[in-house]
A and B are shown apart, each in its own frame.
Chain A
Amino acid sequence: MTPITRKHLPRRTLLKGMGAGVALPFLDAMTPAFAAAGQGASPARLAFVYVPNGIIPSDWTPKGAGRDFELSRILRPLAPFRDDLLVLSGLAHHNANALQDGAGDHARAAACFLTGVHPKKTAGADIKNGISADQIVAQKLASETRLPSLELGCEDSRTVGNCDSGYSCAYTNSIAWRGPQTPLPPEINPRLAFERLFGAEDVPLDPEARARRARERRSILDAVGARTRELMATLGPGDRRKLDEYQQGIRDIERQIERAEKDGRDIRPTMEKPEGIPVLFADYVKLMYDLQVAAFQADLTRVTTMMVGREGSLQTYPEIGVNDPHHPLTHHRNNAEWIEKVAKINVFHMELFAHFVARLKTTPDGDGSLLDHSMVVYGSAISDGDKHTHEDLPVLLAGRGDGSLKTGRHLVYAKETPMTNLYLSLLDKMGVHPESIGDSTGRVEHLSEV
């Protein structure tokens, strides 16, 4: 059921607001309905959110299956969106296991999460993983949007040497892999991520201030333009070539101002430009989620990945009273106090994710909300952090995938069902149909039917 609270913005309204015959690439990108000419539907979006160091399994797995399931402690922050969710139990990443490679479950988990491949154990330059599910989609849809994909993270990376028992840091720094040797490290600075999406322009201004500023900029350019023409006349060819570059730059800015004025529509980003990394972790993570919402809303990309933390994360969470670093705590050896701290972190991460889901749900998109057209996978490639297990992984799927998902259920798959089977099914819904991903054995069932 579509909730009646949803803000509905019919396509016609959007069209009315547009000047006829304008063909600015950016504006086209802003309005997916318009870009997908004739189809009328919004494009599907795919996002992956990774949380490190596993979870407390007993606090994750819901009781009951199908429609009649009870949200667990960790999942409870998602209660308002229960009908937009699928909780998926039983999935596994076999290739994150040691398979005679010894220690290094954290590195393998991160590397394997989206590739389903057993990464080569090496600390050196000969790293080898597989192509990640998000990148399979990104490469297919590269021409559709300004950015093929967006990789974000909330923990800085150590770039040199070993990160986990003889594995290169590349394996723990990135979950997105363009190819077996090409990790795509996440951007962790929200300001730079914003600038990648929307350019390095200053904070957005109100229309009046923008118009005034455009006028001022134009009069500045007028003043220097006259002088430049005068100067050009006195220069030899060598110097003139240099000043040509300058004039070209001036003209480009003039044209931008002109375009913005003629057009009259508000194409500014839907969020303020971030200054840097917020002090509070919660603010930081929410900001990184907001950037993804903004990117989807403007249809700047259709694929995002987000690492809430790196595997082996030593993040402390003083905001929720957990002052110990995350990873050592997860090796709790059944110490009840430590288990409680880990569970608190798990819940905290989920509360932050709920912010993302809420933002997607309240953001109008085409004939519905962004959440309607999205598929957001949340999970980890470690289930029990204490034992480093890679089966029965914590996985959930938020969003309705353009109506193709029958949400509001807890699906329990046979033990050891490859996680990559889920990816194959999701990629089908993105209109990309690879034969296999990593260790996949087929598609998962029941996503679309009850």
Chain B
Amino acid sequence: MVLPSLVTLALAGLAAEPAHVANAPSAGAFEATVKPFLAQRCAVCHNPQVKSGGLDLAAYATPESITRDPHTWDNALVKMKTGQMPPPGFPQPAASEVQAITDWIESEFARADEMAPPNPGRVTARRLNRAEYDNTIRDLLAVDLRPADDFPQDDTGYGFDNIGDVLSLSPALMEKYMTAASKVSRAALFGPDAPKPSLARLTPRTGSVPSSTVPLFDYDQTGLSLPNALYATHRFPVDGDYTIRVVPGGTRPLGSEPVKIAVWIDGRQVKVLEIDPAGVATFELDHQELFGTQGEFRTRVTAGEHTLAASVLRLYEGLPASYGGPNPSKRPVPQVPEFKPREGLPPERVEAIRRRVEARRAEKKPVNAARVSRLDVIGPYEPATGPKEASLRKVYVCGHLRGGHGSGCAKRIVASLARQAYRRPVTARDTAPLLRLFTSVRKGGASFEDATALALQAVLVSPDFLFRIEGDGEAGTAGAAHAIGPYELASRLSYFLWSSMPDEELLRCAERNTLRKPEVLAAQVRRMLADGKAQAFVEGFAGQWLQFRGLESASPDRERYPDFDNNLRLSMRRETELFFESLVREDRSILDLIDAKYSFMNERLARHYGIPWVKGPEFRRVDLTGTERGGVITQASVLTVSSYATRTSPVLRGKWVLENVLNAPPPDPPAGVPRLDEATVGASASMRQQMEAHRTNPTCASCHVRMDPLGFGLENYDAIGAWRTQDGKFPIDPAGALPDGRSFHGPEELKAILKQDRDAFAQGLTEKLLTYALGRGLERYDKKTVRAIAGRLPARDYRFSALVLEIVSSLPFQMRKGERSPS
């Protein structure tokens, strides 16, 4: 039995009219309501003589004349809905009057959208972005060099960095492609170039250690959850030996035993260094100074990015017995040299100084001040040389991995490389120039391997590799909307879910042309989401949608947020990553993003949240029942990136919620609006009072009346997402009301309201995901698709897989408009 292809399904799904849209234009309402309103309220300026703002309403005498000009009327809608029109100073219509007009225009547009012929749109040829380039090289050649680290940053558009129209290719980047191609092909065939040993100083942000003179008995003995530890990420260029040098800081009481500092790579303890600060040059003779000491060791590390951590083990042990800590020091406390006054001072002054010095010496010293202040990574030494077996297998498909290539091998090798790199079947037209290149250098005396490397270089700078170009099909159908080819579909899938090239299984599906069978497509999507490569989807989509990528450059004010260290930064990011991943892996409801009562955390993050029962440095799933947390808007990552360095911003957060939860992004603020006086916030007036003053300006009020209350609902979270009930000397008032009258008190009630608007949320997430999947901004003709997809989600319990399947089965994902077809 032949199953209906997804193209027919996609078209059929769109043909069905959603129930809420009327079939005929409501001409009656236009004559009765709209026309009189426009004549009475607007035509005084927008007439053929004045044409204020270039608008003459005389041209809009019929309903069709309005729907034919969405550009003008979208603009008019915003102006009316935000109270900018009619302008202040003119008689203001009642809100209900305005709403009747805007409702009519909106429903007319919705109807017109539904009636329009299906239009899949046209995705511009997409250059591989940096992540895609690196992943593709990795999967093509088993070379994990990350050559794109040297490439310039990709520009973003519509919130994502994979937008074909926005990704440009400068001559400088072309140079880098040439260089990368040569580096990569040599690494695959002959092994990576071993860099000379070099020194990397890792000084990530560390938190402040609140000084204490009382030892603890119950604490994280690994030290990994304490602010005394240092966390850094470092990219090791090749497999090799590296010297890791630990530079500690801080002090210990005199007579303490040496400190033990553990070094961890990717969470695994690789070394414990013993550092004895006794006897280091110091002015103050009454404590041990760790500054100026250091320890180092050499270890083998694999190429790639690793998380390094160095922590003080058993921080409160080995202190002098007088401090009463666990497992005290067995060292005698050394005698501090006697106080010797400078000669010639009057005796009463000598006595005063003596008393001061003695009092200071009698004082208890901080017991928890030992810390790690820097890590140096020096290397590589004895780097791995030669190619990887896996790389050779990818290239030498004849099976002669170490020489002895037969005469027919070159042809097979080139054809296989080109097929994978171009992600489609290749013809003699593709391979002939590559083979010519191979043969000519062979004739010039190059080895088989060298000639292969050169052909591979040509493959890697070919437009077929660097771009994802979709053809317009047979000449006869070039003008019309048409289904994209099976290989193009395979690439769309793999770059959507993996940010990389299709694997052999996807290519085989394309070859057999089975990807359009719904059950095959569903099975492939499930397989792909379960694959480790889907991590690229979490990082690429969620990292940009929820903006946790921005955490890397977040630098909360040190004085106000002394706790913010690199460990917390990495932990915040990890939480949101793991949370989003769980949603994908467990195929949960997308509404969990709003208010799931679970998340992932380690002790460091849990302490930040005030959740006391999470112990130890490893991440685990945590039940959030009974806490103030749950859902992405309560996660520290989102709360931090939507704050300023020195304070929270109800405006930024409100805007974030409007954009990402309620799918109602506010328009940009008009020019010349006075800024909030930041210096006075928390000092002379509360944030809320300040903001409310801001909203007395009518121009501002129309948008801020929607934005700010949402932000106020989250004011209990400070600028790095910690819970608070006070801001400076003012208590937090987390109450708010939306323009539609719904009111809330605190984040829990706010989330309940947001969840009521699940349709808006589902539609917004669909838009974002479709944008990311297609690599183009959405157009008016896509609204129909978005509405249809979002409309089918409730029946599928809002499952994540349902959303992804809907997207990959949709018209714009499956099809492409011909260049010459009518828009």
- A279-B125 CB under 8 A given contacts A236-B819, A245-B168: no
- Contact check: which of B171, B378, B463 meets A248 at CB < 8 Å? B171
| Contact in complex: A246, B281 (CB < 8 Å) | no
| Contact in complex: A227, B199 (CB < 8 Å) | no
- Contact check: which of A235, A316, A329, A338 meets B125 at CB < 8 Å? A235
- A236-B127 CB under 8 A given contacts A156-B203, A277-B198: no
Please, what's the 1-or-0 string for B439-474, where 1 marks a CB less than 8 Å from any CB in chain A?
011000000000000100110011110110101100
| Contact in complex: A249, B283 (CB < 8 Å) | no
| Contact in complex: B124, A239 (CB < 8 Å) | yes
- Among A213-221, A375-383, A422-430, which stretch is in contact with chain B? A213-221
Q: Once the chains are docked, how many angstroms separate the CA of A122 from the CA of B447?
A: 65
Interface presence of B437 (CB below 8 A): yes
- A160-B555 CB under 8 A given contacts A236-B819, A237-B819, A324-B292: yes
| Contact in complex: B179, A200 (CB < 8 Å) | yes
| Contact in complex: B292, A246 (CB < 8 Å) | no
- Contact check: which of B203, B434, B819 meets A223 at CB < 8 Å? B434
Q: Once the chains are docked, how many angstroms separate the CA of A265 from the CA of B457?
A: 27
Interface presence of A448 (CB below 8 A): no
Closest to A341 in B: B281
Interface presence of A364 (CB below 8 A): no
With both chains docked as a complex, state the minimum distance between the C-beta of A151 and any C-beta of chain B, in angstroms: 19
Q: Once the chains are docked, how many angstroms separate the CA of A230 from the CA of B433?
A: 12
Please, what's the 1-or-0 string for B616-630, where 1 marks a CB less than 8 Å from any CB in chain A?
000000000000000
Chain B residues contacting A328 (CB-CB under 8 Å) are 281-283, 291-292
Interface presence of B170 (CB below 8 A): yes
Interface presence of B430 (CB below 8 A): yes
| Contact in complex: B174, A250 (CB < 8 Å) | yes
A156, A217, A329 pick with most chain B CB within 10 angstroms: A217
Interface presence of B694 (CB below 8 A): no
Chain A residues contacting B457 (CB-CB under 8 Å) are 216, 220
Q: Once the chains are docked, how many angstroms separate the CA of A298 from the CA of B199?
A: 28
| Contact in complex: B197, A235 (CB < 8 Å) | no
Chain A residues contacting B195 (CB-CB under 8 Å) are 275-276
Q: Once the chains are docked, how many angstroms separate the CA of A224 from the CA of B472?
A: 21
Chain B residues contacting A249 (CB-CB under 8 Å) are 169-171, 173-175, 177
- A160-B558 CB under 8 A given contacts A231-B463, A331-B283: yes
Chain B residues contacting A250 (CB-CB under 8 Å) are 174
With both chains docked as a complex, state the minimum distance between the C-beta of B440 and any C-beta of chain A, in angstroms: 7
| Contact in complex: B125, A243 (CB < 8 Å) | yes
Chain A residues contacting B441 (CB-CB under 8 Å) are 216, 219
| Contact in complex: B169, A246 (CB < 8 Å) | yes
Residues facing A in B164-191 (CB within 8 A) are 164-165, 168-171, 173-179, 181
Interface presence of A161 (CB below 8 A): yes
- Contact check: which of B281, B434, B458 meets A324 at CB < 8 Å? B281
Q: Once the chains are docked, how many angstroms separate the CA of A50 from the CA of B670?
A: 49
| Contact in complex: B558, A279 (CB < 8 Å) | no
With both chains docked as a complex, state the minimum distance between the C-beta of B339 and any C-beta of chain A, in angstroms: 15
A156, A223, A324 pick with most chain B CB within 10 angstroms: A223
Closest to B467 in A: A242
Q: Once the chains are docked, how many angstroms separate the CA of A137 from the CA of B143?
A: 48
| Contact in complex: B124, A323 (CB < 8 Å) | no
With both chains docked as a complex, state the minimum distance between the C-beta of B287 and any C-beta of chain A, in angstroms: 14
Q: Once the chains are docked, how many angstroms separate the CA of A259 from the CA of B72?
A: 53
Residues facing B in A229-278 (CB within 8 A) are 230-231, 234-239, 241-243, 245-246, 248-250, 252-253, 275-278
- Contact check: which of A238, A253, A316 meets B178 at CB < 8 Å? A253
Total interface residues in chain B, CB < 8 Å = 61
Q: Once the chains are docked, how many angstroms separate the CA of A314 from the CA of B555?
A: 24
Interface presence of A158 (CB below 8 A): yes
Interface presence of B792 (CB below 8 A): no
Chain A residues contacting B467 (CB-CB under 8 Å) are 242-243, 246
Closest to B126 in A: A242
With both chains docked as a complex, state the minimum distance between the C-beta of B303 and any C-beta of chain A, in angstroms: 16
| Contact in complex: B199, A223 (CB < 8 Å) | no
| Contact in complex: B150, A200 (CB < 8 Å) | yes
Chain B residues contacting A246 (CB-CB under 8 Å) are 169, 174, 463, 466-467
Interface residues on A, range: 35 or more
A-B contact count (CB 8 A): 143
Q: Once the chains are docked, how many angstroms separate the CA of A17 from the CA of B170?
A: 34
Closest to A245 in B: B169
Q: Once the chains are docked, how many angstroms separate the CA of A432 from the CA of B291?
A: 46
Interface presence of A408 (CB below 8 A): no
Chain B residues contacting A238 (CB-CB under 8 Å) are 122, 124-125, 165, 819
Q: Once the chains are docked, how many angstroms separate the CA of A151 from the CA of B294?
A: 30
Chain B residues contacting A235 (CB-CB under 8 Å) are 125, 469
| Contact in complex: B197, A279 (CB < 8 Å) | yes
Please, what's the 1-or-0 string for B717-756, where 1 marks a CB less than 8 Å from any CB in chain A?
0000000000000000000000000000000000000000
Please, what's the 1-or-0 string for B280-300, where 1 marks a CB less than 8 Å from any CB in chain A?
111100000001101000000
Interface presence of A104 (CB below 8 A): no
Interface presence of B780 (CB below 8 A): no
- Contact check: which of B122, B462, B555 meets A227 at CB < 8 Å? B462
Interface presence of A325 (CB below 8 A): yes
Interface presence of B361 (CB below 8 A): no
Chain A residues contacting B178 (CB-CB under 8 Å) are 217, 220, 253
Closest to B440 in A: A219
With both chains docked as a complex, state the minimum distance between the C-beta of A351 and any C-beta of chain B, in angstroms: 20
Interface presence of A228 (CB below 8 A): yes
Chain A residues contacting B181 (CB-CB under 8 Å) are 220
| Contact in complex: B175, A253 (CB < 8 Å) | yes
Q: Once the chains are docked, how many angstroms separate the CA of A224 from the CA of B178?
A: 12
Q: Once the chains are docked, how many angstroms separate the CA of A224 from the CA of B181?
A: 13
With both chains docked as a complex, state the minimum distance between the C-beta of A318 and any C-beta of chain B, in angstroms: 9
Chain A residues contacting B558 (CB-CB under 8 Å) are 160-161
Chain B residues contacting A206 (CB-CB under 8 Å) are none
With both chains docked as a complex, state the minimum distance between the C-beta of A315 and any C-beta of chain B, in angstroms: 11
Interface presence of B429 (CB below 8 A): yes
Chain B residues contacting A319 (CB-CB under 8 Å) are none
Residues facing B in A149-196 (CB within 8 A) are 156, 158, 160-161
Interface presence of A320 (CB below 8 A): no
| Contact in complex: A239, B469 (CB < 8 Å) | yes
| Contact in complex: A216, B454 (CB < 8 Å) | yes
Please, what's the 1-or-0 string for B551-595, where 1 marks a CB less than 8 Å from any CB in chain A?
000010011000000000000000000000000000000000000
Interface presence of B364 (CB below 8 A): no
- Contact check: which of B169, B196, B463 meets A228 at CB < 8 Å? B463
A217, A237, A249, A278 pick with most chain B CB within 10 angstroms: A249
| Contact in complex: A230, B429 (CB < 8 Å) | yes
| Contact in complex: B458, A223 (CB < 8 Å) | yes
Q: Once the chains are docked, how many angstroms separate the CA of A121 from the CA of B659?
A: 42
Chain B residues contacting A219 (CB-CB under 8 Å) are 437, 440-441, 454
Between A and B, 5 residue pairs with Cβ closer than 8 Å are A222-B433, A242-B164, A245-B169, A248-B171, A276-B196
- Nearest 7 A-B pairs (CB), nearest first? A249-B174, A276-B198, A236-B819, A223-B433, A239-B125, A245-B169, A252-B171
B-binding residues in A (CB < 8 A): 156, 158, 160-161, 200-202, 216-217, 219-224, 226-228, 230-231, 234-239, 241-243, 245-246, 248-250, 252-253, 275-279, 314, 316, 323-325, 328-329, 331, 333, 338
- Known: A160-B558, A220-B461, A242-B125; 11 extra A-B contacts, CB below 8 A, are A200-B150, A220-B437, A222-B433, A242-B169, A243-B469, A245-B170, A249-B174, A252-B171, A275-B198, A279-B198, A279-B199
